[in-house]
């Protein structure tokens, strides 16, 4: 069975730009000049999924989301 792909998304309304996600997942998230996360829109590679989950859990405003597709 093919594994379902996951993508990271930010809810820009609830995101407060703490930047925690960029610290925890620098491979996939960088910050813009104002401190808000720019998330790679490609499917998260399998070896990063666990890290991505941890970053999602760590976001203080629950703004970081993992979308299954």
Distance CA 8, CA 52 (A): 8
**20 lies in the site for ligand SF4, by CB under 6 A:** yes
Nearer to ligand SF4, 18 or 53 (CB): 18
Give contact residues for another protein (rule: CB under 8 A).
11-17, 32-36, 38
Q: Is the distance from CB of 9 to CB of 36 less than 8 angstroms?
A: no
Binding partner at 32 among another protein, ligand SF4, none, C-beta below 5 to 8 Å by kind = another protein
**What would the two tokens of residue 14 be?**
């609830």
**15 lies in the site for ligand SF4, by CB under 6 A:** yes
């Amino acid at each position: 069975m093919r594994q379902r792909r996951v993508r990271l998304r930010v809810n820009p309304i609830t995101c407060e730009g703490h930047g925690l996600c960029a610290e925890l997942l620098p491979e996939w998230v960088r910050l813009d000049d104002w401190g808000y996360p720019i998330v790679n829109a490609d499917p998260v590679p399998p070896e990063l999924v666990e890290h991505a989950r941890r970053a999602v859990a760590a976001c203080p405003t629950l703004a970081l989301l993992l979308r299954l597709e």
